[in-house]
Structure 1
Amino acid sequence: MPRIGVEQSLTAVQEALQSKGYDVKQLRQEQDANECDCCVITGQDENMMGIQNVVSQGSVINAHGLSSDEVCQKIDQKFQH
C-alpha cells in the first residue's frame, strides 16, 4: 500500500485517504516526505522565495483549490487503487 504524506492543515484530505485504506503520514518536517510515495501539499508556501528543494522522489499533489474527493481521485489515478 502506498504511503501518502499530507500536510498538517489538510485534515479532511488525510481522513478521506485513510477511509480509502491508504497509509497516511502527516508531514511535520521536510524529512517526513522521504518516507512517502506521494505527498499532498497546500500549495500556500510552494516555492517561496524562488527556492525549490527536492525532498522526495515521489509525486507531489498541490491541493490548492481542490476538494478532498478530488485529491483522492488524483491519488487513485496514480496508484490505480
Structure 2
Amino acid sequence: MQKKVAVENNLTSIAKALENKGYTVVSPKSGLDVIAAVVMGMDNNLMNIQNTVTKAPVIDAAGLTPEEVVSRIESLK
C-alpha cells in the first residue's frame, strides 16, 4: 500500500522530504485517499481542503521544518 500525503503546491521542500522517505505526494485537490494533508496556515480551510481529504489529519506546516512535518506524519501510524 502506498503512503500518500496531500501537500500544497508551494511546499516543495516538504514534498521532497516526504518523497525521500518513500511517501507519494499528491495535490490536496486530487481527491485521492491520503494519510494526511500538509498545508501552510490553517486559513486553508477556506479552500475546503479538509473536505477534500476526508478524515485525514491536516498538518499546519507554518513554522515547521520539513523534517518536523515528516516526523508528525510518521507519528500518525
Q: Does 1:58 align with 2:56?
A: yes
Instruction: Provide structure 1 residue ranges, at least 5 long, that are not aligned to the other structure.
Output: none
Instruction: Provide structure 2 residue ranges, at least 5 long, that are not aligned to the other structure.
Output: none
Q: Which residue of 2 aligns with 1:5?
A: 6
> What TM-score results when the alignment is normalised by the length of structure 1?
0.75
Q: Which residue of 2 aligns with 1:71?
A: 69
Identical counterparts, % of pairs: 30
Q: When the two structures are aligned, how many residues end up with a matched partner?
A: 73
CA displacement, residues 26-59 of structure 1 (integer Å, 9 cap, x when unaligned): 23x3xx25532210000163345xxx77412111
- If each structure's helix is expressed as a fraction of its own residues, which one has the higher value? 2
Runs (4+) of structure 1 exceeding 2 A deviation are: 32-35, 44-48
> What TM-score results when the alignment is normalised by the length of structure 2?
0.78
Q: State how far apart, in whole Å, the 1-side matches of 2:36 and 2:68 are.
A: 15
- If each structure's strand is expressed as a fraction of its own residues, which one has the higher value? 1
Indicate the RMSD between aligned Cα atoms, in angstroms.
2.1
Larger radius of gyration: 1
Question: Contact conserved, 1:43 with 1:64, CA < 8 A, in 2?
Answer: yes
